Amino acid sequence: MNRLPLSGRPRLAQAPLLAPAAILWIVLFALPLFSFLVFSFWSVRARIMRPDFTFQNYVATIREYGDVLLITLGMGLIIALATTVLAFLFAYAIRFRAGRYGDMLLFITLIALFGGYLVKIYAWKSILGRDGIINGFLMWTGAIQEPLEILIYSHGAIVVTLTYFLLPFAILPIYGSLRAIPDDLIEAASDLGASPLQVGRDVVLPLCERGLGVAFLLSFLISVGDYVTPRFVGGGASMMGHFIETQFSFGFNWPKGSAMSFTLLATSLALVILCRALLRRMLRP
């Protein structure tokens, strides 16, 4: 009788335990995603989806929204870089500089995760708005005579709002990587004559590469797919998510909306892979 090798038995024993999670993943994620992939090749006639196999939706996406796609990817990169850098500095301060106040700062970070998404957007809208806190303070000090219109409904407002929203999601994975770095290693590098800058560059950064990658990935993918923040603080028609949402809601053109979504997904993943490779090259000698 043929017997399975010993190395294969534990995997078979774990299969029933993984089955519920696998079924949920297939039903709630894989099947809907595959359905939209199929829809992206369909056509719409008389506002009714027709089974078809055409690349016209993808061609129309590049032709009509190519510039918006580039703007969206550029905005996502700016937001992801800003969020990752700020999150690393904050997590580094918690881990190595804050001392007994580190737990309190980490608790504040966790509390920030539970704040309402729309509440945060409206908070920044009130801060950046024409009658907001910043304009009010500048006018009170006499620095400006009229409210600054550029603070709201601009790309800068989107960057600030999404960076603020994504910071807790980026801080936690980076902090988890920093926690895994033993203090003895930092002390040994310092004892060998390394300056704080050299310790951070040659020891800390390479060892928290995975946390930095996760933080960048989360920040980038969430920001390029968001459409609520651009609508409220960016004027709406500035990022791809707004136009995708319009195709599904007002346009009743699910095939085109699906093609736009997969075009954004494919370009985003390609850019993430490229940035990941650059990060590894920078952090590894």
Residue 7 belongs to some domain of the structure: no
Secondary structure of residue 38 in the 3-state scheme: helix
For residue 212, the domain's CATH number is 1.10.3720.10
Q: Give the number of domains in the chain.
A: 1
Residue 235 belongs to some domain of the structure: yes
Q: Render pLDDT for 84-119 as a digit per residue (tens, 0 to 9).
A: 999 999 999 999 988 889 999 999 998 988 878 889
Closest CA to 188 of 176, 172, 174, 204: 204
Q: Which band of pLDDT confidence, cut at 50, 70 and 90, is reported for residue 3?
A: low
Cβ-contact 208, 178 below 8 angstroms = yes
Residue 34 belongs to some domain of the structure: no
- The percentage of residues in the chain with a pLDDT greater than 70, rounded to a whole number, is 94
pTM of the model: 0.89
Residue 11 belongs to some domain of the structure: no
Q: Which band of pLDDT confidence, cut at 50, 70 and 90, is reported for residue 1?
A: very low
Radius of gyration of the chain (CA): 24
Q: Which amino acid is at 186?
A: I
Residue 60 belongs to some domain of the structure: no
What average pLDDT score do residues 140-166 get?
A: 91
Q: What is the pLDDT of residue 83?
A: 97
Secondary structure of residue 236 in the 3-state scheme: coil
Residue 13 belongs to some domain of the structure: no
Residue 123 belongs to some domain of the structure: yes
Q: Is the pLDDT of residue 171 over 80?
A: yes
Domain ranges, residue 140 = 65-283
Residue 14 belongs to some domain of the structure: no
